[in-house]
Amino acid sequence: MHIIWDSMVETGKISVTDYVRVTSTECAKIFNMYPRKGAILEGSDADIILLNPERSFVMGAHTHHSRSNTNVYVGRKGKGMVEITISRGRVVWEDGVLNIAPGSGTYVRMPPFGYIFDGIEKSDAAYRASLRAPVQRGKAAA
């Protein structure tokens, strides 16, 4: 989240509003979890991050949360750090400390073929229609 903030918002490539859209709403839509995820609405899970745009970071091999001991961003510096994560209304990450109980997660059903497939079908239909278009022929050169 902080690398996207630093490389996109801090550089002026996208707005803060677009950052929220691409890191939450659009992701949830792509994975077909919207509006349960990716929205602050009645009935949604209330998954929220609080990002401090002024806080600096330096990526290291062990600053990410993965079982891998390598990171392509090692040594990268930037601004914008997530300080608090709220999941389903509970603070689960604060001041670099993960605070969850084993087994506290829930299964989130993700039906196949989310809205992103609508665009693929439209694109395929346009391509197939172009194949049936008449071929424009000119006079052959003598």
pLDDT at 77: 96
pLDDT mean across residues, the chain: 89
Residue 142 scores a pLDDT above 70: no
Instruction: Quote the tokens at residue 138.
Output: 């000119």
What is the distance between the alpha carbons of residues 24 and 28, in angstroms, rounded to a whole number?
6
β-partners of residue 90 are 87
Q: Per mean pLDDT, which of 30-34, 67-71, 118-122, 136-140 is the most reliable?
A: 30-34
Domain extent, residue 50, equals 2-131
Above 90 in pLDDT, residue 125? no
CATH at 10: 2.30.40
Quick check: is 93 in a domain? yes
Residue 136 lies inside a defined structural domain of this protein = no
Q: How far apart are CA 34 and CA 14, in angstroms?
A: 22
Q: What is the pLDDT of residue 141?
A: 66
Asked whether residue 138 is domain-assigned, the answer is no
* Total structural domains within the chain: 1
Q: Model confidence at 46, in pLDDT bands (50, 70, 90)?
A: confident
For residue 4 the two structure tokens come to 């996207």
What's the confidence (pLDDT) of residue 116?
80
Tens digit of each residue's pLDDT (9 = 90 or more) over 18-35 = 999 999 999 999 999 999
pLDDT in tens, 71-89: 888 899 999 999 999 999 9
Q: Which residues pair with 85 in a beta bridge?
A: 49, 93
Q: Does 19 reside within a domain?
A: yes
- Give mean pLDDT, residues 47-57: 96
The yes-or-no verdict on residue 62 having pLDDT over 80 is no
89, HSE (Cβ side, Cα atoms, 13 Å): 6
pLDDT at residue 122 in the model: 84
Q: Is residue 102 part of a domain?
A: yes
Report yes or no on 139 lying in a domain. Answer: no
For residues 50 and 40, what is the distance between their CA atoms, to the nearest angstrom?
14
The answer on pLDDT for 9 being more than 60 is yes
For 52, the token pair is 């401090």
| Neighbouring residues of 34: CB distance < 8 A, sequence distance ≥ 6 | 25, 28
- Domain assignment of residue 141, yes or no: no
* Residue at 140 is within a domain: no
